[in-house]
């Protein structure tokens, strides 16, 4: 057992529970989410709720996203962190999530499972994000606004600069955040008015027919999106054909990104991407292994002017640092639930700002849109100060299960107004989709048993 956290002074509310849930949605039945590497995902959340004895009814909600089998492993990793969290002062944790984040990352035995990568790190991200959800609810602010109005010195204190200072020092980060305050009020007003640009992946799943691809691509343009994305990488002739169909459907002025989901080696990534050139793809996403920094740099040189994007499987800020240092990416794709939570994403946003590389977050799955919109909106209002060449991925799946789902209108994410991180699932969703005993999965099992009988 790790050492017990210091006991807070009496009258100081504490975190009393970390309740966990294995939530799975049967998305594989509709081929929604199908790509070259993930043909049958069941979008899932290893979900947690922080409860307190503050008596204000507020809870912190957070989750790691997985695609089905293994979600139980992810839940177990969150549970392994429980002793670090229960008993801590709510005020201290919410006033300084960075300290808890360092404690979780630094667990002297659990860190062997990483360090700072994979299941354990995603568990840390889920817990840290739940703390930020609680902190924003207590402040009565949507998270984007809490961050955008935060004192730059305090934001810098929330970042772990160990391993970063060869690319970004705390002083440089402070300077970037101070500069980000110039004109922040005007940008906040613009954000509330227009929202933040989105692009849609809904037309592009590999399992969809030509008819469905064309129809959804046309619909995306009609809905106001200026970019769509297609999955590629299973069959070259098919990809050439599907991309031409999509180009015909959207016309010359809408950007089409393509996403290989790590399907290729470096040389194949270059030849395949070049073969798609006549349809003018905007970026190639995850052309190869997310760990291959020099490989991405080679692909980028080989496919220009097509841009290279990656990040949804990038483990941590250190790999992002190297991708930027190596000139390996044109687009940084943060993911709200892959790295160690808001604190680490703050580090990645600062690195991207330092290198002048646009951030276009990965989203979709379960609740990733709900979370990551807050980070991009903060970045626009109070860090990079621009939405130029920046779009948040949008996929129209599973939003109905959230208490405050994203609202995308005219190709833009509407700025959330509800306090918190938009992370909270509806109680019905938890009751139905808890695995294996929620009502949906229990009925499923009964039906199978009947078939077999
Ligand atoms: Mg992707």
Residue 40 pLDDT class (50, 70, 90 cuts)? confident
Output b/e per residue, 140-160; b: 16+ Cβ within 10 A.
ebbbbbbbbebebeebbebbb
Q: Which of 61, 121, 229, 231 is catalytic?
A: 231
| The pLDDT of residue 325 | 98
The whole-angstrom separation of Cα 220 and Cα 250 is 8
Mean pLDDT of 366-391: 98
State the distance from the centre of ligand 1 to the C-alpha of 230, rounded, in angstroms.
10
Token couple for 331: 């687009």
Residue among 422, 416, 430 nearest 403 (CA): 422
Which of 19-33, 50-64, 106-120 is predicted with the least confidence, judged by mean pLDDT? 19-33
Pairing of β 307-310 and β 196-204: unpaired
- Burial (CB < 10 A; 0-12, 13-18, 19+), residue 11, is exposed
State the distance from the centre of ligand 1 to the C-alpha of 204, rounded, in angstroms.
11
The yes-or-no verdict on residue 10 having pLDDT over 70 is no
State the distance from the centre of ligand 1 to the C-alpha of 393, rounded, in angstroms.
9
Q: Which of 121, 137, 354, 362 is catalytic?
A: 362
Mean pLDDT of 207-216: 92
State the distance from the centre of ligand 1 to the C-alpha of 285, rounded, in angstroms.
6
| The pLDDT of residue 392 | 98
pTM: 0.96
Mean pLDDT of 136-156: 98
| The pLDDT of residue 202 | 86
Output b/e per residue, 306-336; b: 16+ Cβ within 10 A.
bbbbbbbbbbbbbbbbbbbeeebbbbbbbbb
Model confidence pLDDT, tens digit, residues 284-328:
999 999 999 999 999 999 999 999 999 999 999 999 999 999 999
Token couple for 450: 């009947």
Residue among 420, 375, 315, 344 nearest 101 (CA): 344
Residue 5 pLDDT class (50, 70, 90 cuts)? low
Enumerate domains of the chain plus CATH numbers. Answer: 15-141 (3.30.390.10), 177-428 (3.20.20.120)
Strand partners, 204: 230
Model confidence pLDDT, tens digit, residues 226-250:
999 999 999 999 999 999 999 999 9
181 is annotated as an active-site residue = no
Percent above pLDDT 70 for the chain: 97
Mean pLDDT of 259-263: 96
Rg (CA), the chain: 21
Average pLDDT of the chain to the nearest whole number:
95
* Residue 189 neighbours by CB under 8 Å, 6+ apart: none
Report CA 251 to chain centroid distance, whole Å.
29
The yes-or-no verdict on residue 406 having pLDDT over 60 is yes
Which of 341-345, 363-367, 430-434, 445-449 is predicted with the least confidence, judged by mean pLDDT? 445-449
State the distance from the centre of ligand 1 to the C-alpha of 283, rounded, in angstroms.
11
Report CA 311 to chain centroid distance, whole Å.
9
The yes-or-no verdict on residue 428 having pLDDT over 80 is yes
State the distance from the centre of ligand 1 to the C-alpha of 87, rounded, in angstroms.
38
| The pLDDT of residue 119 | 98
231 is annotated as an active-site residue = yes
Element (H, E) at 338: none
The whole-angstrom separation of Cα 356 and Cα 324 is 10
């Amino acid at each position: 057992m790790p050492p017990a956290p210091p006991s807070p002074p009496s009258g100081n509310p504490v975190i009393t529970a970390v309740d966990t849930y294995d939530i799975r949605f049967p998305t594989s039945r509709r081929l929604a989410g199908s790509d070259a590497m993930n043909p049958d995902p069941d979008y899932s959340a290893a979900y947690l709720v922080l409860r307190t004895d503050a008596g204000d009814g507020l809870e912190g909600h957070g989750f790691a996203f997985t695609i089905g089998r293994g979600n139980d492993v992810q839940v177990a990793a969150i549970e392994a962190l429980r002793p670090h969290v229960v008993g801590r002062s709510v005020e201290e944790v919410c006033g300084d999530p960075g300290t808890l984040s360092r404690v979780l990352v630094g667990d002297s035995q659990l860190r062997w499972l990483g360090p700072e990568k994979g299941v354990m790190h995603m568990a840390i991200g889920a817990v840290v994000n739940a703390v930020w959800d609680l902190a924003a609810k207590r402040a009565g602010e949507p998270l984007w606004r809490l961050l955008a109005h935060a004192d730059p010195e305090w934001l810098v204190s929330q970042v772990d600069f160990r391993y970063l200072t060869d690319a970004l020092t705390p002083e440089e980060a402070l300077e970037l955040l101070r500069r980000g305050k110039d004109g922040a009020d005007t940008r906040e007003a613009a954000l509330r008015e227009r929202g933040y640009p989105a692009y849609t992946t809904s037309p592009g799943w590999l399992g969809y027919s030509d008819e469905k691809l064309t129809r959804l691509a046309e619909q995306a343009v009609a809905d106001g999106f200026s970019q769509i994305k297609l999955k590629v990488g299973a069959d070259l002739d098919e990809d050439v054909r599907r991309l031409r169909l999509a180009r015909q459907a959207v016309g010359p002025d809408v950007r089409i990104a393509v996403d290989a989901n790590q399907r290729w080696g470096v040389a194949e990534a270059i030849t395949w991407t070049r073969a798609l050139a006549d349809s003018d793809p905007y970026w190639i996403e995850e052309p190869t292994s997310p760990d291959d920094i020099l490989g991405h740099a080679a692909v980028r040189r080989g496919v220009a002017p097509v841009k290279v994007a990656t990040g949804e499987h990038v483990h941590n800020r250190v790999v992002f640092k190297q991708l930027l240092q190596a000139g390996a990416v044109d687009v940084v794709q943060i993911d709200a639930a892959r790295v160690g939570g808001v604190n680490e994403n703050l580090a990645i946003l600062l690195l991207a700002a330092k290198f002048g590389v646009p951030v276009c977050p990965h989203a979709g799955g379960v609740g990733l849109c709900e979370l990551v919109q807050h980070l991009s909106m903060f970045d626009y209002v109070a860090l990079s100060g621009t939405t130029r060449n920046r779009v948040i991925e949008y996929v129209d799946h599973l939003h109905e299960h959230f208490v405050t789902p994203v609202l995308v209108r005219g190709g833009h994410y509407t700025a959330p107004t509800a306090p918190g991180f938009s992370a909270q699932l509806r109680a019905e969703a938890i009751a139905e989709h808890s695995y294996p005993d929620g009502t949906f999965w229990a009925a499923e099992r009964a039906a199978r048993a009947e078939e077999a009988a």
